[in-house]
Amino acid sequence: MNNAELILDLDAYRQNLVVMRELAPNSQQMAIVKANAYGHGVAPCARAAREIGAEWLGVATPHEAFALRALGDTGPILCWLATPGAPFRELAEANIDVTASSSAQLQEIMAADIQVRVHLKVDTGLNRNGAPESEWVDFFERAAIAQNHGKIHVVGLWTHFANADEPNHPANDLQEQRFDQAVAMAAEYGISPEWCHLANSAAAATRPSAQRDLVRIGIASYGINPDPQVKIDGLVPSLTARAALARVKSIQPGDSVSYGWRWTATEPTTLGLVPVGYGDGIPRAASNRAEVRISGTRAPIRGTVCMDQFMIDLGDVPAKAGDWVTLFGSGESGEPTAEDWAQALDTIGYEIVTRLSGRWTRAVRGER
Ligand SMILES: *Cc1c(COP(=O)(O)O)cnc(C)c1O
C-alpha cells in the first residue's frame, strides 16, 4: 500500500482536449506536455493526446523533445527553448521541429549541416524570448537566405501572449497586430510558413482571431482554467492527489502545531498526519491555508507544512490512520481542486500541479 498517490484520469484529459478542439475546430491542436505534462506524467499524456488526434506535441526544451521520441512518439513535435550549443543536428535527425528566436540562433541552426525544420519566433510584447521587432528585418532576411540554400525549412512563425489570461487587456490586440505585421513582413522575404500560431489555452478559448493554423493547449487539457477570469465550460481536472493518514492524535487547547508553532488550538481537537510535504511539491505556503477532503468533509491544514508531512484538523470527523485524504482532485466528490489551492495560496493552478514530484506513486486510469 502506498503512502501517497497521484491518479491521472486519461478520460478527463482526452475530454478536455476535445473541449478545446470544439472551441477551435479549424486549427490544428498542439498538446503541450512540457514539465512532465504539468506534473501529470508525460508518457500517458503524450500517448492520450495522440489518441484523441492532437496533430502536435509541444515541449520547452530539446531534452524534453528527445524524451518524447524515446517514448516512441513519431508525430510532429515542436520545442522552443534552446541554449547555445543545442543539439540542432540531432533534433533534425529525430525529425523534431525547432524554434529560432534570434538571428544568432538561426546561424547556429544553419551550422547543423542538415536541413532543419524551423519555426521562427517573434517577440510581440512578452519581452521574454523571440526576435524583437528591431531585429525582424535581419531575422527574416537570414531565414530567407538559409531557406533558399536548403539549410532550413521554415514551417512556422509564432509568438506568445503576455496577458492572454486577461481577455480584455489591450496588450492582446496589440500583440496580435504586431504578429500580423511580422507575418506580412516575413512574406515580403518569401517566407510564408504553413503554421502561424500564437494562442495558448486562454487565447484559444477567448480570442477566435488568434486561433490561426494551430493552437497550443496546455493548462486547459489538464482540466484547469488558465485564470479565474477565463472559465472554460466542460473542463474536468485530470489529476487527483491523495495520501493515507499516517496517524491521528488528540490535542488540547493551548497546544501548538508543527515547526514554529504557527497554529495553536483553542479547543480540544484531533489532528491527522498527512505523509507528504514540500519534498513532494506541496507548497510550504499552504501552511495554515489550504484544505483537504477526508471522510466526506473538508479539513484545514494546521501549522507549517514540513518536508515530508503536514497536519490537518479533523475536528470531530471520524478518521483513523490509513484513511485516505484527498488533497485535490476533480472536485466532483467535494474535494478541493488545484484551482482552489491556487486561490488559497495566491498563485496559479499551473504551479500547484507542475511542482508535484518526489515520493508519490502514480496511477493511470482510462488507458486505452
Ligand atoms: C506553456 C506554453 C503554452 C501553453 O500555455 P497554457 O496557458 O498552459 O495553455 C503555449 N505556448 C508556449 C510557448 C508555452 O510555453
Q: What is the pLDDT of residues 17-50, one digit of tens each?
A: 999 999 999 999 999 999 999 999 999 999 999 9
> Are residues 217 and 243 located together in one domain of the fold?
no
For position 190, what pLDDT does the model report? 97
Average pLDDT over residues 335-341: 98
Q: How far is the CA of 33 from the centre of ligand 1 (A)?
A: 9
Given a cut of 70, is residue 143 above it in pLDDT? yes
> Are residues 178 and 256 located together in one domain of the fold?
no
Q: CA torsion 163→164→169→173, rounded to 10°?
A: 110
What are 333's three cell numbers? 466528490
The whole-chain average pLDDT of the chain stands at 97
Domain membership of residue 181 (yes or no) is yes
Average pLDDT over residues 237-251: 98
Q: What is the CATH number of the domain that holds 69?
A: 3.20.20.10
Q: Residue 220 and residue 349: Cα distance in Å, rounded?
A: 10
Residue 249 is among the residues annotated as catalytic for this protein = no
Given a cut of 80, is residue 223 above it in pLDDT? yes
Q: Give me the percent of the chain exceeding a pLDDT of 70.
A: 100
Q: Which of 222, 251, 276 is the last residue of a domain?
A: 222
Given a cut of 80, is residue 62 above it in pLDDT? yes
The atom number, within ligand 1, closest to the CA of 30 reads 10
Q: Which of 160, 188, 222 is the last residue of a domain?
A: 222
Check pocket membership of 219 for ligand 1, CB cut-off 6 A: yes
Q: Residue 58 and residue 64: Cα distance in Å, rounded?
A: 9
> Are residues 265 and 141 located together in one domain of the fold?
no
Check pocket membership of 270 for ligand 1, CB cut-off 6 A: no
> Are residues 243 and 278 located together in one domain of the fold?
yes
For position 207, what pLDDT does the model report? 98
> Are residues 45 and 78 located together in one domain of the fold?
yes
Task: Tell how far CA 113 is from the center of its chain.
Answer: 33
**Structural domain count, the chain:** 2
The atom number, within ligand 1, closest to the CA of 80 reads 13
Q: How far is the CA of 217 from the centre of ligand 1 (A)?
A: 7
The one catalytic residue in 13, 34, 38, 121 is: 34
Q: Residue 151 and residue 32: Cα distance in Å, rounded?
A: 27
> Are residues 262 and 181 located together in one domain of the fold?
no
Residue nearest to atom 15 of ligand 1 (CA): 60
Given a cut of 60, is residue 193 above it in pLDDT? yes
Instruction: Answer yes or no: are the C-beta atoms of 8 and 41 closer than 8 Å.
Output: yes
Q: How far is the CA of 153 from the centre of ligand 1 (A)?
A: 24
Residue 121 is among the residues annotated as catalytic for this protein = no
Check pocket membership of 201 for ligand 1, CB cut-off 6 A: yes
Q: What is the CATH number of the domain that holds 273?
A: 2.40.37.10
> Are residues 169 and 306 located together in one domain of the fold?
no
Domain membership of residue 229 (yes or no) is no
* 325: containing domain: 239-365
Q: How far is the CA of 255 from the centre of ligand 1 (A)?
A: 46
Check pocket membership of 216 for ligand 1, CB cut-off 6 A: yes
> Are residues 26 and 107 located together in one domain of the fold?
yes
Check pocket membership of 230 for ligand 1, CB cut-off 6 A: no
The one catalytic residue in 231, 249, 259, 320 is: 259
> Are residues 186 and 264 located together in one domain of the fold?
no
Q: Residue 183 and residue 185: Cα distance in Å, rounded?
A: 6
- For residue 247, give the amino acid letter: R
Instruction: Answer yes or no: are the C-beta atoms of 9 and 41 closer than 8 Å.
Output: no
Domain membership of residue 3 (yes or no) is no
Using CA of residue 19, residue 23, residue 24, residue 25, what is the dihedral sign? positive
Q: How far is the CA of 317 from the centre of ligand 1 (A)?
A: 41
Domain membership of residue 104 (yes or no) is yes
> Are residues 154 and 261 located together in one domain of the fold?
no
What are 211's three cell numbers? 486561433
Domain membership of residue 230 (yes or no) is no
Average pLDDT over residues 292-317: 97
The atom number, within ligand 1, closest to the CA of 217 reads 9
> Are residues 130 and 275 located together in one domain of the fold?
no
Instruction: Give the E-state strand segments of 210-246 in sequence order.
Output: 214-217, 239-244
Domain membership of residue 207 (yes or no) is yes
Q: Residue 286 and residue 107: Cα distance in Å, rounded?
A: 46
Q: What is the pTM of this model?
A: 0.98
Q: In the structure, what pLDDT confidence band is assigned to residue 2 with cuts at 50, 70 and 90?
A: confident
Check pocket membership of 151 for ligand 1, CB cut-off 6 A: no
Residue nearest to atom 6 of ligand 1 (CA): 218
Q: Which of 191, 222, 253 is the last residue of a domain?
A: 222
Given a cut of 80, is residue 1 above it in pLDDT? no
Domain membership of residue 227 (yes or no) is no
> Are residues 243 and 134 located together in one domain of the fold?
no
Check pocket membership of 159 for ligand 1, CB cut-off 6 A: no
Domain membership of residue 190 (yes or no) is yes
Tens digit of each residue's pLDDT (9 = 90 or more) over 282-291: 999 999 999 9
